[in-house]
Each structure stands twice: as C-alpha cells, then as structure tokens.
Amino acid sequence: MKQDIIYKYFFVLFSIIPISLLVGSAVSAINILLIAISFLIYSFYKKEWKWLKDNNVKLLFIIYFYLIINSFLSVDFYSGLSRNFGFIRLILFFAALNYFFYKYQKFNRIFVIWIVVIFIAVADVYFETFTGKNMLGHGADHNRVESFFRDEQKIGGYIFCFYLLMIGYFLNFFKFKFKKNNYFVLVISILILFSIIVTGERSNSIKAIIAFLIFFSLNNSLLFREKLTLFVAILIMFGLVYANSEFVKLRFGKQLFWKVQSLNNYIDYFKHKLSNDNDKKFSLDDDVFLRTVGFKYFSLSHSGYMIFKKHPYFGVGNKNYRVVACPKKVEDWNPDYVCNSHPHQIYFEFLSEHGIVGTTILLVVFFILIFKILRKISIRDQYIQLGSMIYLALFFIPILPSGAFFNDYYLTLFFINLSLLYACNRDTNIFNDN
C-alpha cells in the first residue's frame, strides 16, 4: 500500500512536467526540485544508492564538480554559485526517472498525459495563427505566435522538445498494438511539425525539420513508399503554407533573402575595415551596422568571442556573460561587448563563460552521454530513444542561434530528453544490472 502511494506520488510529479513548463519557469523549477528532493529522501528510506555507482551519473557529477569550481573562478562568485549549486537537482531528476521507469513497467503511461498536453499546445498554436489570440484570449503583441507563454516566443521550442518523444511513443504503440501501417502517425507528425513552423521560430523550425528527416529516414518501420509519401507531403504542405501565409513568407522568405543580400554589404564593410590598419577594433558603430543589416546574432557571437579572447582558459564564469557585457558603471562598458543575457549561440556561450577548459569538459561529457549507447539502440524498436538522441544532438548544432544552455527552462528541456534516452529502455536503464 505504502509503495503504491509512493508510485502515484512520483507519477503525478512527472506527469505534470509539460504543464509546469507552460505555467512558468519558476513552477517548473519547483517541480523538478520537488522530484529531486523526494527521490533523495526515498533513497535514504530504501537505502537505494545503486544509482551513485552508475558511470553515467558519475559523468554528470564531473560536470557538477566542475561547475562548483567554476563558481570560484567567476567574475561574480555569487552569481555563478547560485546557478551552479542547483545543478545537482537535475542529476537526481535523471536518476529518479530511470528508477521509476525500471521499477514500474506502467510508468510509461506518463506519455499519454504528455501527449494530451502537447496536443492542446499544438491546437492552440493553430488557433492563435488563425484567430490572433490563444484559447485563453491572449493576443500576441509581436505578430508572433506565443500561445500559453504569453509574452515569450518559445512555444515552438517547447513543442519540439516533446515532438519526437511523442511520435516515438505512437510508433511503438501502433507497432505492438495494431501492427498496421503508420499513416496515422505520419499525419500527426506533419501536423506537429507545421505547428512549430507557423510559430516563426526559425532556429527551432530548422532543427525540427532536420530532426524530422533524420528520424524518419532511420526509421525501419516505414516502407520506402511511406517515406517518399511523407517527404512529398511535407514539400506540398510547406508550399501551400508559404503561398497562403504572409507571416511565414516574411519569416522564411523575405527576411532570410534580405539577410543573404545584406551579406555582401557585410563582407564589403569588413574587407574595408580589415584593410585599414587603424580601424581594426570592433566598435559600437560596427554593432549598429551589423544589427541594421540583420546580423545581430553575429555581433552577439563576436561579443562572446571577444570575452573568450580576454578570458581564454576558464571564461568569465557560468551565467556571467551579462555581468561582463552589461556593467553597472558606464565607464566600465567595453565597445567590443554587446549587452545581453548571453551570446545566443551555444559554442560562444560555452567559450565566453567556461573557456577552453570548461568547454572541453562540457562537450566531452555531454557527447559521451548522448552517443555512448548509439550501438545499443535498436532503431527498429526504440523510437523514443532515437527521438531523444536526435533532439540532444541538435542542441549542439553550430551556426544556428540558441537559447542560454544553463537557463533553467532550456536545461530542463535538455534533461527531459537525456533522462529518457536511458530510462525508457531496460537495456540502457542505469538500474539494469547488466
């Protein structure tokens, strides 16, 4: 009886994860923290510490210990420590999800609840696209779909986090329950994909399209004609949406074309600048120019690079880019730095805040965790794992702008997929004795 109550308690906490993310980052952080603390108490009660011996957990603790050390090397010690200390909650979250997936076969029913929530989010995206307001009556002020996030344009990234997980679950469900063709799943996949595209979030849309193509190309459950039908349907639908939506045409056509055209201006400008020995230093005028021609992300990346150049070995400290780029005193402002919360590109974020040493540690550990079980994944049967791996890999795609990796929201999305990458397959689950 007591064990059943514990199971239901954790089932509820994990089930509401997608809802908590929609409500707000603070609610999501509290939910993750509650899972972490509860699992720690449960481990004490059950004297279950096997997870501490797992190599994957040890790798995550390497990152944790590094982040603690990074706090002492930060420009602002307290700013770094407040972020870094709490990273342990995600390690406990990782272990907890693995534990309950391994101990309770029916724990995967959380996917059913997640699917309902994601479908509501997808429906709301289309609702706001056609009506200008979401289901709660809130209208976007930026001509961008915001859905339940109200003043933030991140509903596309939110759906993308769960996108392949849901499709993977559907494929497993249809394979083992009905053993029929997968056209229903294909239709659902297309509808979810285009819900991301119509948000106008270009980076997430590009990642979602790439993920879609990789996922279904590697999917052995689909016949060649089904794959061909799928790709043709995508092309036709995108053409129809592009032709009938001025917003999509603007975001994925005119604005991108304009940026390509302005690239020539950018090249000419900096060729002249580099040829002038007295004018090689990056300035605020350069930043204004780059933003004018549509290269604001380049100026942010350049800013991240310049901070890295000044702090090459250990960076300025985790979440300390803003501290350096946005000083409180006017006389401390550096024209090489662009004031922002982060450089908006994951590699320049790592380099500027962690330097060569920290960046190497972070990338090596995360790449090992993501790809070490590649050979163990049976693509034929483990679609959820395949989806998780693709999502995690695309987190590190170069060039494309990105959110701050160590932001609570984005880090939670990352760890949801990282945890499921191991948890949903008993062969890779960290509690498997083999």
Q: Judge whether residue 192 has pLDDT over 90.
A: yes
Q: Which residue has better confidence, 404 or 415? A: 415
Strand (E) or helix (H) holding 271: helix 255-275
Is residue 381 within 8 A of residue 319, CB to CB? The reply is: no
- For residue 366, being part of any structural domain is answered with no
Q: Are residues 349 and 384 in the same domain?
A: no
Percentage of residues in the chain with pLDDT exceeding 70?
81
- Phi and psi of 343, rounded to 5°? -75, -5
Q: Which residue has better confidence, 79 or 165? A: 165
Of 299, 323, 355, the domain-final residue: 355
Beta strands in 111-193 (DSSP E): none
Q: Are residues 211 and 323 in the same domain?
A: no
Distance in angstroms (rounded) separating the CA atoms of residues 69 and 268:
44
Q: What is 35-81 written as a DSSP string?
A: HHHHHHHHHHHHT--GGGG-HHHHHHHHHHHHHHHHHHTSSSHHHHH
Tens of pLDDT, residue by residue over 3-35, are 788 899 999 999 999 999 999 888 999 999 999
Q: Are residues 43 and 109 in the same domain?
A: yes
- For residue 180, being part of any structural domain is answered with yes
Q: What is the model's pLDDT at position 102?
A: 94
What is the band of 151 on the pLDDT scale with cuts at 50, 70, 90? confident
Q: Are residues 56 and 8 in the same domain?
A: yes
Of 320, 355, 390, the domain-final residue: 355
- For residue 305, being part of any structural domain is answered with yes
- For residue 271, being part of any structural domain is answered with no
What is the band of 347 on the pLDDT scale with cuts at 50, 70, 90? very high
Q: Which residue has better confidence, 174 or 417? A: 417
Residue 100 CA from chain centroid, whole number: 24
- For residue 91, being part of any structural domain is answered with yes
Q: How large is the C-alpha radius of gyration of the chain?
A: 23
Going by C-beta distance under 8 Å and a sequence separation of 6 or more, which residues neighbour residue 71?
77, 80, 81, 84, 85, 317, 318
- For residue 214, being part of any structural domain is answered with yes
Is residue 126 within 8 A of residue 194, CB to CB? The reply is: no
Q: Are residues 130 and 216 in the same domain?
A: yes
Is residue 382 within 8 A of residue 425, CB to CB? The reply is: yes
Residue owning tokens 């350069």: 286
Q: What is the model's pLDDT at position 177?
A: 56
Q: Are residues 315 and 383 in the same domain?
A: no
Q: Are residues 160 and 62 in the same domain?
A: yes
Bridge partners for 133 per DSSP: 139
Residue owning tokens 């790439």: 210
Q: Are residues 291 and 410 in the same domain?
A: no
Q: Are residues 294 and 181 in the same domain?
A: no
Q: Can you say whether the dihedral through the CA atoms of 212, 217, 219, 222 is positive or negative?
A: positive
Tens of pLDDT, residue by residue over 31-77, are 999 999 999 999 998 888 989 999 999 999 999 999 999 999 998 88
Residue owning tokens 């849309």: 205
- Stretch 160-187: mean pLDDT: 77
Q: What is the model's pLDDT at position 293?
A: 43
Q: How many CA atoms lie within 13 Å of 300's alpha carbon, on the beta-carbon side?
A: 23
Q: Are residues 201 and 128 in the same domain?
A: yes
- Total domains, the chain: 2
Model pTM score = 0.88
Tens of pLDDT, residue by residue over 268-326, are 555 555 555 554 454 545 544 454 444 566 778 878 888 999 999 999 999 898 988 88
Q: Could you tell me the residue range of the domain that residue 345 belongs to?
A: 281-355
Helix (H, G, I), strand (E, B) or coil at 329: coil
Q: Are residues 345 and 388 in the same domain?
A: no
- For residue 86, being part of any structural domain is answered with yes
Average pLDDT, the chain: 83
- For residue 331, being part of any structural domain is answered with yes
Q: How many CA atoms lie within 13 Å of 136's alpha carbon, on the beta-carbon side?
A: 11
Q: What is the model's pLDDT at position 301?
A: 80
Q: What is the model's pLDDT at position 190?
A: 87
Q: Can you say whether the dihedral through the CA atoms of 234, 240, 241, 242 is positive or negative?
A: positive
Q: Judge whether residue 253 has pLDDT over 70.
A: no
Q: What is the model's pLDDT at position 207?
A: 92
Q: Are residues 314 and 172 in the same domain?
A: no
- Span of 51-55, 169-173, 236-240, 364-368 with lowest mean pLDDT: 236-240
Of 355, 388, 412, the domain-final residue: 355
